[in-house]
Amino acid sequence: MLTSEGPLTLDRPPMFPDGASEQDIESSASLFIFKHDRNLALRLISVINKQLEGRERLIDLGVGYGFIAKSLKETFGFREALGIDEDENRLEVARGRGIKAYQLDLENDPLPFSDQTADLATSFGLLNYFKSYDNLLSETNRVLKLGGVFALSVPNLGWWVNRVSLGLGYQPPNISVSMKHTVGMPSFYPRQKPTKYIHTVTLRALRELLEKYGFKTVRVFGGREPSYDEIRNRIARGFVKTTDRILSRSVGLSVRLFIVSKKIGHTEQNQSSLEPSITSSLNLPTLGRPQHRQ
C-alpha cells in the first residue's frame, strides 16, 4: 500500500485521519470515530488494500469536503478520484482538493459514469439520510468493475444504546423524528440534538441487502461512540464507557458499522444495462458535470 511518502507499514500509517480540519470532522461521523480510534481506520484501510484489484479510479458517494476521497487516493495510489454530493458548497472545497466532483441526488439519480469503470467505491455516512438504499446500491454495482471494492459506513440500528433506549420506552438516539427538536431521548446520552438521520439498519439487514445487489461482505468492523466523555456525571460516564467498551466488541452492538464488500455479480437491472451503448463502450466517466438540481 502506498502513501504520498512511500510504502504504508504499521510504522508508517496513512495520513488518514491526520490532516482533517474541524469542518471535515464535524461533517463526518466516520471521521469523528477515526479521530478517536486510529487503529480502526488503519485496519479498515488494510483490508481495503488487500482486496483491491486495480487502482485506476475511486468514487466517493457523499464526498462532502473531499478529505476522505483525497486521503484514500493518496494512500492507495489511485490515478483519479471522483466524488458525488448534493451540497455545492462542499463540492467546491472537494474540487480544491483535487477531486472531480459532481452534484446530484444519490437517492434518486443515476451516477454520471459508464458501466464498470471504478475499482473502489466508498460511502462513509450517507445512507442514513435516505428513505431507501436501492438506487445507490444498484448504481454502485453498475459502475464498479467485477471484483471492485465497496466500502461503506452506516449507524447501527442494533447499537446497544438503541436497544436499551427502546426497551425503556425512549427514542433510539441515532434516529431523528424531527429536524428541529430532540424528543424522547435518554437523559444520559450526551448529544442532545437531532442527528437528522431518517433511518438506519442492522448488520444482518445490511449484509442481506448488499448480497441482493451483487456484493459479498468481506469484513465488518464496529466503531465505538467517542462522545461519552461529555457525560457530566462521573459515575454515569464511567459506567456507560465501560459498558460500551465491553459490548462494542460485538460488531452487531457497536454504534457504527464499517463494511468492506466486493462486487461478485450484476443485478438483473444492471445486467440489461451492459448491452453496448455510447457511454458504456467508452469505459470512461461521463464528461462534464450534471446540471444542478433546482
Output the pLDDT for position 232: 73
- Beta carbons within 10 angstroms of residue 288's beta carbon: 8
pLDDT tens for the chain, 294 residues long, are 333 333 344 444 455 667 888 899 888 889 999 988 989 999 999 999 999 999 999 999 999 999 999 999 999 999 999 999 999 999 999 999 999 999 999 999 999 999 999 999 999 988 888 889 999 999 999 999 999 999 999 999 999 988 998 999 998 888 877 878 888 887 766 666 666 677 889 999 999 999 999 999 999 999 998 877 777 778 878 888 899 999 999 999 999 999 999 999 987 666 655 544 334 433 444 434 343 332
| pLDDT for res 284 | 43
Domain residue ranges in the chain: 21-155+198-226+254-268
| pLDDT at residue 293 in the model | 36
Whole-Å CA distances, 136 to 31, 73, 102, 130, 291: 21, 21, 15, 10, 19
How far apart are the C-alpha atoms of 78 and 119, rounded to whole Å?
9
CATH of 21-155+198-226+254-268, one of 3.30.460.80, 3.40.50.150, 3.40.50.300, 3.30.70.120: 3.40.50.150
For 57, 195, 216, 273, the CA distances from 287, given in Å and listed in that order, are: 15, 35, 31, 19
**Stated pTM of the model:** 0.84
pLDDT of residue 26: 86
With H, G, I as helix, E, B as strand and everything else as coil, classify residue 78: coil
